[in-house]
Amino acid sequence: TEVFVEAKEWPRFANVLMVQEQGLIPAIIWKYGEERRIMLPKDRILNLAFEEADGHLSHLFKARLFYIRCGDVVERCVVEHVSTHVVNKEVHFVKFVRHVPGKVTE
């Protein structure tokens, strides 16, 4: 499935805790281009990550193709790594890898 998400640029000297205090989830997009640090809307990501009733991270979360708009740029990505607390249903950090058409994205 495809998901469209609006993101903000992660300020240069802000650390992970500063981003989380704003109610956002820090994330990185990497591979096949310049590394991009972004901040994702917490409510949107939590709905996608914990859509299963038993509280575990959704298997679909890592299988989705994310279209992430940050300013004028739209990145096509898949989730490579997620830092979570499944009992409290929290997402602390997401690492995305760019999807390149014609290449297998893992």
Average pLDDT over every residue of 27-52: 92
Give 39-46 contacts, CB < 8 A, sequence gap 24+. Answer: 39/7, 39/8, 39/9, 39/10, 40/5, 40/7, 40/68, 40/94, 41/5, 41/6, 41/7, 42/91, 44/5, 45/5, 45/91, 45/94, 46/89, 46/90, 46/91
Locate all alpha helices (DSSP H) within 1-106, ordered by sequence: 16-21, 42-49, 59-63
Residue 106 has pLDDT above 70, yes or no: no
Tens digit of each residue's pLDDT (9 = 90 or more) over 48-83: 888 776 667 887 888 899 999 999 999 999 999 999
Give the per-residue pLDDT at 88. 80
Residue 5 has pLDDT above 80, yes or no: yes
Q: What is the pTM of this model?
A: 0.89
